Every structure is written in C-alpha cells, then in structure tokens.
Amino acid sequence: MLCPVCASLLSEEVCAGERIDRCGKCGGMWVDQGELATIVQNDDAPVAVAANAKRPAQLACPRCERPLAPHEYAHDSGVVLQRCPDCRGHWIEASQIAPLAAYVASNPAIDKLAATIEHQFASDRRQRLLYALLTSKLLSGAVAAGLAIAVVLDSKDINRILSVAIYVTLPLACIWFSEEMGRRTRGTFGLARPRVTHPTPGIVVAVAGWLLLLLPVLLWILLQ
C-alpha cells in the first residue's frame, strides 16, 4: 500500500500485537478497523518521526482508495483522524500520535469507550456484509439459473420450464429491488387479506425473496 500523504510505500510493523502499515517518510500510519483502540492505549505506541511531506487537500484510503473522511477520536479528544467510510480503517499522521497517547493516558475511562466504538464499527460492517449477500444479484441469479437447469435436465416439457421461469420472477424482484418493493404500501394479498399500509424494511423483503426462491428446493428435499 502507498502512503496517502506522500505516496511512499508503507512498511508493515507490529505494535501491541497488531499489524500496522507505516510510512518511513512522513511518519503517518494506517491502522485497520478494530486495531486503533489497542494501539493508542499501549505504552509501545510508535514514536512520531519528523513529517517532511506536504499534505494533500483530500486523502484517499491506501487499502481501497476511497476518499477519507474526518473523524474525531473518542468524540471529544480534539484529535481529528482520517477514516475510510468503507473499510473503517484510520490514517494517523505523525503529529497526532503524541496527542492521542496523551489523551488516552489522561482519560482511563476512554479506553472502554474506544473499544466499544470499534466493536460497533465491526458490528456495522458485518451487518452491511449480510445485507450485501441477501441482496446479491449474482448469488440469487446463480441459484435461479441452477433451478432452471435442474428442470431442463429433469424434464423437456416447455410448459414446466416456462412455469419455473415465471415463478422465480417474484423472488428475484424481492431480492434485487428489496428497498423499492419495501416502500410500496398500496398492495394487497387477496380479497380476504389486509392491505399493506406501512413500508417494509428492505432486508425483510430480501429474506422473503430468498425463502420463495429456495422453496422448490426445500420441497424437493422433503419429498425425496
């Protein structure tokens, strides 16, 4: 990875049992998600070196190249780091290492808060990953294609093949367009069933789509 400040190659170091990537030219370091709290409260935190590079107006994540956004450590430290909105890693400049260490040393209670914040970030990341899988067009499309291929191999009946193609349309729509379908509030499920009057969370719509998509597989397993 390259330093977002001076474009030098970052070298890997070990600090407090965590691997960090540090720039030998400007002294900044990249800390992955979940490692920040451990490093800043450790007595062996890296010592800052003299910064000799002009800082660009906008820094980019050295891992995924997304623009970094300002993020104040622990919300009241006065130390504004640069955080990637995607991978949640932090860029710490050389001049910020000493203020971070001083803040943590003078605020013992902040250790727990920092760990809690990092844990929340990790939890949010897992939730985003789960949502991405549930709404994946590639994954659901592959499952639908697998169903179609299974029907073609099992039967040459064109009507049966068309029935499967029509059947998978609804679950795929629920998975691919879960948010849009969840916002629909005027639909009904039959004369004797209630009208949809409130938006449905997109993840609920996606889960329902997967249940419908996998229903033929489950029925086939049960009937064997």
Residues 6 or more apart from 126 whose CB is under 8 A from it? none
pLDDT value, residue 47: 47
| The pLDDT of residue 96 | 84
Encode burial over 99-138: b for 16+ CB neighbours within 10 A, e otherwise: ebbebbeeeeebeeebeebbeeeeeeeeeeeeeeebbeee
pLDDT at residue 103 in the model: 77
Q: pLDDT tens across 14-63, in order? A: 776 777 888 888 888 898 877 776 776 664 545 444 444 567 888 999 98
Round to whole Å and give the CA distance between 74 and 103.
Answer: 10
pTM above 0.95, yes or no: no
Residue 176 confidence (pLDDT) above 80: yes
CA–CA distances in Å: residue 198 to residues 185, 202, 206 = 6, 12, 17
Mean pLDDT across the chain, nearest whole number? 79
Per-residue pLDDT reduced to its tens digit, 50-92: 444 567 888 999 988 889 999 888 777 788 999 998 888 899 8
* Confidence class for position 194, pLDDT limits 50, 70, 90: low
Q: What is the pLDDT of residue 155?
A: 74
* DSSP E strand boundaries for the chain: 11-15, 18-22, 29-31, 69-72, 80-83, 90-92
